Structure 1
Amino acid sequence: MKHLFFAGALALFSLPALASPANSFAFGAPAAAAKADRSVEIIMGDMYYAPRSLQVKAGETVRFVLINKGAVAHEFSLGDAAMHARHQQEMIAMQGQMDHAAMGHGSMQHGAMMKHDDPNTVMVAPGKRAELTWTFTQATPIEFACNVPGHYQAGMVGELIIGQ
């Protein structure tokens, strides 16, 4: 039974990689922190980000310093609303797999073990810090959001405007 769970989890984690080329996003690409033009600190609380909106320029490389001051794990993910909707469905599927595996062995911390390797996303444990550095290439509005099930719907989303 354990082997089936791990095989299913591996297949689920592989789906995003098969859907599009690695590091291919219309609004930009991951970058090395040393290449950043500036750093922006973002506080992650339980169901909020501070600041709630950001403005960057096309061609700018930004190092996001993420500080989770909340009681549960939160995610920082860059993308448009459609991308976040797809990611939320993946997160719900991961949660369902974890719930099935736990089968009554106590509840897991909300967001725990929902890890993946999407280059536009970072999961941050409570009380921890993480970083994501990104070069924005195209002037377009996107969002930064937490796609842990229920968090986006509770208002954990911010506006990121990529200007000229």
Structure 2
Amino acid sequence: MTVRNRLSLAACLWVLSLPVMASPAGHYDFGQPAPAASATRTVEIDMTDMAFSPRSLEVKAGETVRFVLVNKGQLLHEFNLGDAAMHAAHQKEMLEMQQSGMLTPAGMSHGGMDHAAMGHGSQPMPGMKHDDPNSVLVEPGKTAELTWTFSKADNLEFACNVPGHYQAGMVGKVKVAP
């Protein structure tokens, strides 16, 4: 076996050893993605630079909510549903994306929001994508949607995990009532 083949094999084994992330069809303790047509309520959330409006939400367990996310700021923002630990982990991923040059203050460096096409150079970088079903990036002046069916949850938040935004206060609470 040549050195080149050994390196290729080692790279493949390394990729296969990476932790498996939730798939777009994944299920979370606090709910799951849903088609917009199944929503029983629509909530518009305005994103300004370092703030959400409204800052808190109340939903019922089993309720399907269609979020319409309007970025009225000058920076790229994210709407991500999860608990504080999930946000902390995702912030590390977002920082890596920023450091690699894929994430810029106003958007993604690949020129569009086709998350599946993101990579570094011509070789895709494992884990370097933004396609979690509980999250959406919204460029300045743009609108996006996310539809979610909630289940019982404690300490649920919606947050922007673009580096520094959560820490600047771009986080809100979601209360899931029985």
Q: TM-score range by the shorter chain?
A: 0.7 to 0.9
Superposed CA offset, 1:86-143 (max 9, x none): 00000011111117xxxxxxxx741521751100000000000000000001142300
Partner of 1:112: 107
- Is 1:43 the counterpart of 2:57? The answer is no
3-state SS of 2:108 partner: coil
Cα distance between partner residues in 2 of 1:142 and 1:95: 25
Larger-gyration structure (1/2) = 2
Match runs of 1:1-150 below 5 Å = 18-20=20-22, 22-98=25-101, 109-110=104-105, 112-113=107-108, 116-150=130-164
Shift of 1:153: 0.2
Larger helix proportion of the pair: 1
Cα distance between partner residues in 2 of 1:139 and 1:47: 25
- Provide the aligned C-alpha RMSD in A: 2.0
Cα distance between partner residues in 1 of 2:26 and 2:83: 15
User: Under a length normalisation based on structure 2, what TM-score does the superposition of the two structures give?
Assistant: 0.75
Residues matched between the structures, number: 143
Percent identity of the aligned residues? 62
